[in-house]
Each structure stands twice: as structure tokens, then as C-alpha cells.
Structure 1
Amino acid sequence: MTDVITPGAAGSGDLTAPAAPGGVSRTLLPGGLRVLTETVPGVRSVSLGIWVAVGSRDETPAQAGAAHYLEHLLFKGTRSRTAAEIAEVFDAVGGELNAFTAKEHTCFYAHVLDTDLPMAVDVLADVVTDAVLEPAHVELERNVVLEEIAIRDDDPEDLLGELFDEMLFGDHPLGRPIVGSEDSVRAMDRAVLHEFWRSRYTTPRMVVAAAGNLHHEHVVDLVAAALDRAASQVGRGAEPAPLRPADPPAPTGVRLALLPDDSEQAHLMIGVPGISRHDPRRPALAVLSTALGGGPSSRLFQQVREERGLAYSVYSSTAGYADAGSFSVYAGCGPERLGEVATVVRGVLADVAANGLTDAELVRARGSLRGGLVLGSEDTPSRMNRIGSFEIDHGHQRTIGQSLDRISAVTGEQVAALARELLEQPTATAVVGPFDDEDALPASVRG
């Protein structure tokens, strides 16, 4: 069956939501496979993604890093194509083929000329469902993944984010790095990877999303043919997998974590547990985060960098999962300035918790989010990512116009109430830098 989600109105502001004729079309195929497309006028390309509702939080400790490992490994060859042939067919048409792994999903995607869409569908489906996982390839790619972990270990900002998640979510899978650990990757064998792949990468968990110069019915026909065997393996009457059930992490009670690192800078992250991606207050959180640390006019940027010159980089960010979330502030500075940076950041958070945002901050933040949403949707990869992630994470679509309306509807009172709830919690603080132990950290960092 095919549904069409109409574009809808852009809202009462003077920004008009760009909308493809007919909106987003959705067809449910046998085997629980969902196909979503959006026609984008005026382009000659198509972006295509096969989304799988499997990520690093679906791994046991012994499987830690399996989803990311498979993201690499599935491209190493299928029963009908070698790794070289997969690369060559895309290089021959100037196309892009890649993948990414997140904590709650994985996406294998391609960006090609519209005339090369049949090839892209066929190869992507082949990669995701018919890889061979040869033992030699498992060993070869193990070294690549270990190199990626080593690169991560050389990036203090990446290490800081993982340290913060571990502190906030503890032993819960959300607290583990997406890439796994050196120990877990070294210990993982082909049998573990093959079982993880075959048991989870099934059509009820898959969404195929495409955006660009396309016809929905043509895409549906291509996908149905390419994934017919995978659909038959689960049964043609299978329904799409339900949304991820709630399994929220328990509070850890940990308030401070330090990773000593012989670096020129100190890297600081201060944050609190946030709200899930299903929480209706997500637009208010986006406004709050943008006003606090979303750009050069944000309060943190102005007070930390512009007024005091304490740090080059300072920003806030949010994460939203099916049943949990986080809000955090990052700053990188000279080790001797860490205490003053922490004092300013904590002061800003306390003031917003007590008094909310000013009217001017509210207007700027809403305008920034609205403009960024529209400007960020002007290419086919962004459109494909939007419709694919909405389907895999929410089970429905939201038009750009509806998203603009949600941002415009955020009030100062809503932001103030959310700021009080979140920012009056005890903070979690993570530091990566040249400090031997926690006692060496300034008092303002230790809270």
C-alpha cells in the first residue's frame, strides 16, 4: 500500500517550506519492508539509503562495536561482487557509496545520477543482504577498525564525548562507544559478526529512503526486485518492526570523570540527562540549546570567547534517543584557564535555569533554527536523511512546514520551564587534559 504525506503549510512566518510535488510517498512491501521517496524538483541526482533499525545499543558487551564493524565488512564483497567491483561500478559513474553507524540505527547510502538509480539500488541491496563475510576479510577489516579506534584515541574531543556518555549512562549500551573497544574488536570472530548480521538485518527492520529526480513507483519496483529474497526469508506477511521499546539507563550518580591526556589543551564537558526524541518538548530544547551555545551570538560564545577570550571553541549540544537524552556544553581551552571557563559556564547555566532566556535570545534562536532547517534541506542527501531517519525513529513523517511551525510555537515560558527542569539537576563533568588526577582539577570543575 502506498501513502502520500502532503507537504503542508509552512506556517505563519515569512519562510515558506520547500516542498516536493506530492510530498513524501510511502509503500509497505511484503516482508515488512518500507519504501519512502520524495521528488526534489530541479535536480538530476538521487540519494538513496537503506536504513536498518540496529545500532550500537543493540550489542551485548561481547558484541561491542559489531554494528560498526559490519558497516565496514559488508562492503568487502558479496556472492556476486567483489569489493573492487563494488567500488568500480560507483567510480565509473561518479557516484558516492558509504555508510554510517549510530547508537540506534545504521544507514548504507548512495548518491548517483538519476539514470544510475537502478544500479545503486541493486548494489546497496546486495551489500546489505548478500555479503559473504569471508574470514580473510574479517581479519583484514579488523585492522582497519582498530586503526579507526587509534585515530579516535588521538582526538581528545571524541574521547571526551565518549567519557561523558559513559559517565551519564554507565553500563547501559548507550554508555558504550559506537566503535567498541580495542579489546572487544580484537576478540570478535566471524561467527559473532555473522549471527549479529543475519539475526538483525532483516526487512522488517529496514527502511529504504530516496530523494531526488525519481518516480515513486519506479523506486518501489526496483527495491521489491532487489530485496525479494531477503523479504521471503522473513515471510511475506511480516509487518514492520515496532518502534524501539523503552529500556532507559538508570542514573549512575557519577558526577566527575577525568581522562589524563598529554595535550596542549584541556577539554571540558558539563551536562545533564536530557529528554528522549519522542518528548514533545524537543523543539523547546532545540531553542534552549541554540540560544545557549548554537552560534556566535549565543550566550556561551559571547561570554566565554568574545568577552573574556577564554576559549576558541565553545558550544552546546543535545542527544535524543528512544528513551533517554542528554544536554551538554563543550569548551576547549588552555589548562590554566579551565577553572575560569568552568565558572563562567556554570554561571550561564544557573542564570538561564533561574531566569530563562531574554526575548531577543528567543527570537534569534527560533530564527536560527528555522533558517538552518530550510537551508539544510536544499540537497538530496539531506532530504533522504530526513525521511529515512523520521521513519526509522518515529514510524511517521513530519513535513518541513510542520517542523517550522513547531519551532515558531515555542514560547519563552516553555523554554524557561524546561531549563529549570534540566539545568537545576546535578551536573556531570568530564575532562580530558594534562591533569594527573581529579584532585589536580580546579574546584569549579569538580563542582
Structure 2
Amino acid sequence: MARTVLPGGLRVVTEHVAGARSAAVGLWVDIGSRDEPGFDPAARGAAHFLEHLLFKGTARRSAREIAEEIDAVGGDLNAFTSKEHTCFYAHVLDSDLALAVDVVCDVVLGGVMDPADVEVERDVVLSEIAGRDDDPEDLLADDFDDLLLGDHPLGGPVVGSEESVGDMTRDVLARFHGAHYVPSRSVLAVAGNVAHADVLEAVAAAFAHRLSGDPAAAAARPDAPAVVRAPADRLSVREDDTEQAHLMLGVPSIRRGDPRWEAQLVLSTVLGGGTSSRLFQEVRERRGLAYSVYSSATGYSDLGVLNVYVGCAPERLGTAAGVLRTQLAELAEHGITAAELTRAQGQLRGEYVLGLEDTPSRMSWLGRRELDGPAAALDLDEALARVRAVTVDEVAAIASELFATPVTAAVVGPYADVDDLPDEVREVGE
């Protein structure tokens, strides 16, 4: 890997991937939905709105020209927004590296945000929100985060709400963009058949006039509480006429970059990370209660969330919830076995390596590492070594710490209120 910090603070990180014939270019901005409330209460959903709006045209290109230039070389151009990061990326042939750098940076830094385009994209984003509302798992995840995280900046959906997006003004979007979408909060990550010097040349040729200025000029991310206070209510239900009942329960956990992060990943893997996991074997294979059951560990810069999900027939929800809570209690009391540790370590190592077999994945690894900072900026060998170093006792200590605390649960399904839920679910809030 090679790294250069340019005047104005833009960080450029590259990796040459032997045998590749493509280049993946991503402009990562250290901005996400968690930054919106502290900037302006009216900005909920602004980062995601801008993900759409910035493709509508720049001072140099119309939206059609942006699309045509990438299509003409058989490339892919897209973006995504998370709670802490936004990434605009292109995947092209290696010979089209300079074009990809030019287009991606032009879109992010040079978007004109025409008022007419704001109205067009408002309807697109509202349609996306409506589509999310048709997906009970998406609704469940948002409800769970709202309940668990409360008024923490990480609470609230990335896409905003119908109300916030409906009221979003061009002024709010422009101010949010001007404050945050600047070189000093950005990382240009490139992976593939590339040379670092060629990437620097492409950046300089396209945007030298935007790479100057004060690296400290961008608005800083406001401090947030490192610990989520216990919610007053630990159980929510959303009535939805679904064939299945959907349950998510979990606890605040370890932040990304914590030295215990890999041990927490092992814990989540043992619990519900694959077909040999405890939840899959007990809920699906042994009892046939559900088709889908899993756990996940999500890490943010200052905290984490560990949760489990199950989707099943409404009449089986109580039994499934009882199994989930029993498994959490078993892990809290007894930890994991040496055989489970070995399997989970092998599974995680395989996921790490196999997940980095293509240039877009390598680019994402580079960008996330750079934004995460020194504590989490591991190369692949270091990450694999940390997984191998996890011990049974470390996992047991984390399980005891996390699952000894009260869990929070959210339900989406054919239930009018909490009183309609099975006793095993209602006990969460008692």
C-alpha cells in the first residue's frame, strides 16, 4: 500500500493488485447520518439525499454526461451512505483510471445542486423510503436502533424520514455539503492495476484547484457519549400485516478499533454467524422454528451493537424468542468451547481473505482503514493475526459482560401492541 497526504488534507491511498486488469476508485468522505443532528436538526437524511443529488450534475458535466462517460468505457459508477461514512466509487478498466478519478471527484466536490434537481431527487428518495417501509427487516433494524441508541447521534435511519426529506431545503443541503464534503475530510482509495504515481498525477490534473486550503477548515465531528444510556423502554412493536413475525434483540457492545473487537467477532460468529452456529443449529436445524436466524456485530467509532434476528411464523415467535434468550444466557454463563473458537477463527479468516478477492473490495478495505484511524488501520495479515490470537477466555469475558445486561428488543408483525406479544417476548421489557 502507498499513501500520500496532499495540500488541503486529501489522503490518497493505493494498492497494486497483481493480475488485475481493472481499477476501483472510491472517494470516501468522513461523513454520515450521525453528523446530521449536530449540524442542523433539519438535516436528517442530508448525507443520503446528497448521495443522490450530487450525481445530477456539476459545473463541468450534466447528469447525462456523467452517465455517458462511464457507460462508454463499460464502467460502473455508484455511491452509498452509512451512519459514519459516505463513498462515491467507480470501477473501470485500468486504462480508464484517470477518467474514473476525474468523474468521481468532480461529482463529489463539484456538484451544483440545482434547485430543480433537488425536487426531482426528493421524489426519488421518498420512493426509496417507501420501499424500505415495505421491507419488514429494514423497518425492524431502524426500530431497534432507535430504541437501543435513543438520542445518540447514531440513532435514526440513514435515509431520514418522509417528514425530514419532504422538508429538506436546498440551503440545508448546500450548507451541509460545504461544511463536510471537502478534501480534508476525504480519502481517495484506489486498488487494481495501478501505480501510486499515476493516481497522484490523475488527481493533480483534474482537481489541483480544489486540493488547496486549510486542512483544518472542515467542520469537526462533534463528540458523542461513548456509552448509550439504558432506554426507558426496552421493547417496541410495529404492527404490520406480514406473514412472518420479525424479532431483533441485542445490547450495546464494543466499538470498532477496540483491542477486543476480534474477540467480539468470534462471539457473534459462534452465536449466529453461519450454519454451524448455535442459533442456526438450535432454531432452524433442531427445532425448525425459522428459516432465517443470525447474529451481527456492528462497530462504530465510539460504540458497537451486537444483535440477533429471527423471522418466523407468528405462532412460533414465543418459542423462538425463548431459545434466543436461553442461548445468550448460556454464553454469558459458560462462554464458548475450544472447538467453537477454532471453527469461528477459520470462518472469519476465510471471510476476510475471500472478501478481498476483487478490486472494489480491496478499495473498500483501503478507504475504511484510512478513515478508521491508527487503532483500526490493520493490513490483512495483521487482521488475520488478531483473529488467530483470540482465546476462549477473552470471548467468555465479553459474553459475560455483554449478555449480563438487559437486552433491548423490537418486533415487526401482526401485533397491535405489546400486550399481543407472546410472554417470552414481553418479558424483555419487564
| Aligned residues of 1:33 and 1:240 also touching (Cα < 8 A) | no
| Aligned residues of 2:291 and 2:312 also touching (Cα < 8 A) | yes
Q: Which of 353, 370, 384 is 1:404 aligned to?
A: 384
What aligned pairs does 1:266-415 form with structure 2 within 5 A after superposition?
266-395=245-374, 397-415=377-395
What aligned pairs does 1:23-62 form with structure 2 within 5 A after superposition?
24-60=1-37, 61-62=41-42
| Aligned residues of 1:121 and 1:222 also touching (Cα < 8 A) | yes
Q: CA shift at 1:324, angstroms?
A: 1.3
- Among all aligned residue pairs of Structure 1 and Structure 2, give the percentage whose two residues are the same amino acid: 59
| Aligned residues of 1:32 and 1:240 also touching (Cα < 8 A) | no
Are 1:178 and 2:155 matched, yes or no?
A: no
Q: TM-score, normalised by structure 2?
A: 0.96
Q: Which of 38, 45, 52 is 1:72 aligned to?
A: 52
Q: CA shift at 1:174, angstroms?
A: 0.9
Q: CA shift at 1:240, angstroms?
A: 9.3
The residue identity in structure 2 corresponding to 1:297 is S
Counterpart position of 2:413: 433
Deviation track 1:113-141 (CA, whole Å, cap 9, x = no partner) reads 00001000111111011111111100000
Deviation track 1:230-281 (CA, whole Å, cap 9, x = no partner) reads 222x33x659998874543433232101111111100000101111112111
Q: CA shift at 1:358, angstroms?
A: 1.4
Counterpart position of 1:14: none
- Cα distance in 2 between the residues matched to 1:349 and 1:356: 10
Q: CA shift at 1:446, angstroms?
A: 1.4
Bigger mean CA offset, 386-395 vs 268-277: 386-395
Q: Which of 205, 213, 226 is 2:193 aligned to?
A: 213
Distance 1:63 1:269, change over 3 A: same
Q: CA shift at 1:398, angstroms?
A: 1.3
What aligned pairs does 1:206-245 form with structure 2 within 5 A after superposition?
206-232=186-212, 234-235=213-214, 245=223
Deviation track 1:310-366 (CA, whole Å, cap 9, x = no partner) reads 000000001111111110000000000000000000011100110001111111000
What aligned pairs does 1:39-188 form with structure 2 within 5 A after superposition?
39-60=16-37, 61-188=41-168
Bigger mean CA offset, 301-310 vs 170-179: 170-179
- Cα distance in 2 between the residues matched to 1:132 and 1:243: 24
CA RMSD of aligned residues (A): 1.5
1:93 partner SS: coil
1:42 partner SS: coil
The residue identity in structure 1 corresponding to 2:24 is S
- Cα distance in 2 between the residues matched to 1:310 and 1:276: 32
The residue identity in structure 1 corresponding to 2:54 is L
- Cα distance in 2 between the residues matched to 1:416 and 1:242: 37
Give unmatched runs, 5+ long, in structure 2.
Answer: none
Counterpart position of 1:259: 238
Distance 1:174 1:270, change over 3 A: same
- Cα distance in 1 between the residues matched to 2:334 and 2:225: 34
2:211 partner SS: helix
Q: TM-score, normalised by structure 1?
A: 0.92
Q: CA shift at 1:172, angstroms?
A: 2.0
The residue identity in structure 1 corresponding to 2:72 is A
Bigger mean CA offset, 180-189 vs 250-259: 250-259
- Cα distance in 2 between the residues matched to 1:304 and 1:238: 52
- Cα distance in 2 between the residues matched to 1:219 and 1:113: 14
| Aligned residues of 2:182 and 2:218 also touching (Cα < 8 A) | no
Q: CA shift at 1:394, angstroms?
A: 1.8
Bigger mean CA offset, 272-281 vs 156-165: 272-281
- Cα distance in 2 between the residues matched to 1:59 and 1:399: 31
- Cα distance in 1 between the residues matched to 2:288 and 2:92: 45
1:280 partner SS: coil
2:31 partner SS: coil
| Aligned residues of 2:54 and 2:113 also touching (Cα < 8 A) | yes
- Cα distance in 1 between the residues matched to 2:243 and 2:3: 51
